Structure 1
């Protein structure tokens, strides 16, 4: 049993986690044994994701003033995976883990201050990782620049080819 002071501290900690996390995935872990939960925590920790079992009432209080509402998903045993770096990492790992462990049920996701149901978790899980998205963005920006450089070099290149052809013609 938590004291009132511990409950206040837990609410403040949850508020901080929700405001700092890029994404938070809510899951029902009922039916998972200790070894399975430990394995899940280890996998998540390797990706920089924190997995925390929460009391639904305290989570409701913590998110009361947030721009999203997750009250409808706070039923039964609830654990939340907070991802601080990559918003997709937690969704990918939990979805993958849930395929092998049918007792893990994904409930909802909070991403960038917006909450959604299980469908949001599935969409997040299908997204490419952050690094891949950044690489694609850089490639998209870089590609036109190379085209511009190529076009700007064309007249100079043509002049060099023409002078080379004239020199070869005079030499023969």
Structure 2
């Protein structure tokens, strides 16, 4: 292999290492058997959610994962592999891939990386079942508002009772 090709691959590994380190989550899937239309639709859905999908040689991804300080990724990077990187939303790539896998049976989640930790297929699928960031914030806000709302209702009930007695 020429020195230019080696330098090019080293540069790609460095870029992938940076991308892994900066990503909130990375989901690895087996896409073998998907049609061009299915892959195009999947990429469109991911792009709309701010997720980038790449097909990269497994050996380069393994080197990038090791350089990023992640061990045990070798078993995930076997066979045809596509990788979805999300720098903002942890749940988005897992959710989109899991939803897409319901209609495209050939798509299989292999595993991934969540906030710098190697995650198994089961952990990625569990992550996909969580609500997105906005949904979680909405749930948190609802929980925080409940005591105030209950207090306001109690005061209203007392004032109405006193008003009826007068």
What is the TM-score of this pair, normalised by structure 2?
0.83
Partner of 1:77: 80
Partner of 2:103: 100
> Which deviates more, 138-147 or 97-106?
138-147
Alpha carbons 2:17, 2:67 under 8 Å: kept: no
Secondary structure of the residue aligned to 1:50 is strand
Secondary structure of the residue aligned to 2:119 is strand
Matches within 5 A, 1:133-172: 133-147=136-150, 165=166
Number of matched pairs: 162
For 2:106 and 2:153, how far apart are their aligned partners in 1?
57
For 2:69 and 2:13, how far apart are their aligned partners in 1?
16
CA RMSD of aligned residues (A): 2.5
What is the TM-score of this pair, normalised by structure 1?
0.81
Q: Deviation per CA, 1:45-90, whole angstroms, max 9, x where unpaired? A: 0111110111111111111143433121111111111122221111
1:102 Cα offset (Å): 1.8
Secondary structure of the residue aligned to 1:32 is coil
1:124 aligns with 2:127: yes
Alpha carbons 1:67, 1:114 under 8 Å: kept: no
Partner of 1:170: none
Unaligned runs of 5+ in 1: 166-172
Partner of 1:30: 32
Unaligned runs of 5+ in 2: none
